[in-house]
């Protein structure tokens, strides 16, 4: 009984030893294989054993996804702007100087989907009465800058916006006449706070919008500086690019 158990055990050990002695040829130098290496490779294939990888193994994964930077929209506004200007004398009385209409140009862009920035220039030419009773022409340049909210009213298409605007503006008044000839002189550089409320409607399937707004401004409260305020309406077109 013992001899019957030893014989199968010896056969198993001999087969395992012969399997271990079968070496796998170098798969990286197949051009140098002789007949012995080729026969060893064929025997290994017939044995259904897994060939262990040799050398550096590089894992090939899916190609990286391409990322693109999304360019935020910019816009330019060209409009006609009315401007009614009022001065305040030392007694606190408000004087209506003049109302005029001039061109206005704004450049802006999106900081976020509904927050935009803007800057630009506006020109108006108005009349101001002098001490002598004569009328002088004043050139009025504005350079506004600030932020605006472009809100879409509930229940309306995404082509209509309510504009809430807030910022500041630099003003420059110039004339051929001297500052001393006016009761409330404005000549020179001034600064104001600006507020505005507007509405924009996009022309379907285009990059154009109709722009309508009402804006007002008030001079910085600086000691010794002429106080003034003003406002007006704006009507024009907006081009998005």
How high does pLDDT run on average in the chain?
84
Length of the chain as a residue count: 241
**Domain assignment of residue 137, yes or no:** yes
pLDDT of residue 16: 47
For residues 223 and 10, give the distance between their C-alpha atoms in angstroms, rounded to a whole number. 113
The count of domains in the chain is 2
Query: Do residues 211 and 201 lie in contact, with contact meaning Cβ atoms separated by under 8 Å?
Result: no
pLDDT of residue 37: 76
Structure confidence by residue, pLDDT tens digits, 158-196? 889 999 999 999 999 999 999 899 988 999 999 999 999
For 29-46, what is the mean pLDDT?
Answer: 72
Structure confidence by residue, pLDDT tens digits, 86-96? 999 888 899 99
pLDDT of residue 75: 96
Q: Do 39 and 125 sit in the same domain of this protein? A: no
Q: Do 97 and 15 sit in the same domain of this protein? A: no
Domain that holds residue 107: 74-240
Predicted model pTM: 0.69
Q: Do 26 and 95 sit in the same domain of this protein? A: no
**Domain assignment of residue 191, yes or no:** yes
**Domain assignment of residue 54, yes or no:** no
């Amino acid at each position: 009984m013992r001899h019957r158990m030893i014989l199968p055990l010896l056969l198993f050990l001999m087969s395992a030893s012969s399997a271990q002695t079968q070496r796998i040829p170098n798969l990286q130098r197949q051009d140098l294989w002789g007949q012995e290496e080729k026969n060893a490779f064929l025997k290994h294939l017939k044995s259904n054993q897994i060939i262990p990888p040799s050398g550096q193994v590089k894992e090939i994964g899916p190609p990286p996804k391409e990322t693109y930077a999304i360019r935020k929209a910019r816009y330019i506004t060209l409009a006609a702007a009315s401007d009614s200007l009022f001065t305040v004398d030392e007694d606190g009385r408000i004087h209506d100087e003049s109302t005029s209409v001039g061109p206005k140009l704004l450049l802006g862009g999106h900081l976020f989907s509904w927050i935009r920035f803007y800057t630009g220039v506006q020109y108006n030419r108005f009349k101001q009465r002098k001490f002598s009773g004569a009328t002088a022409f004043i050139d009025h340049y504005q350079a506004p800058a600030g932020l605006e909210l472009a809100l879409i009213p509930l229940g309306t298409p995404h082509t209509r916006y309510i504009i809430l605007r807030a910022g500041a503006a630099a003003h420059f008044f110039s004339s051929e006449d001297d500052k001393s000839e006016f009761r409330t002189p404005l000549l020179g550089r001034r600064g104001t706070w600006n507020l505005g409320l507007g509405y924009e409607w996009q022309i379907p399937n285009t990059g154009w919008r109709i722009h309508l707004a009402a804006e007002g401004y008030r001079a910085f409260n600086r000691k010794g500086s002429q106080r003034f305020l003003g406002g007006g309406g704006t009507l024009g077109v907006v081009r998005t690019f």
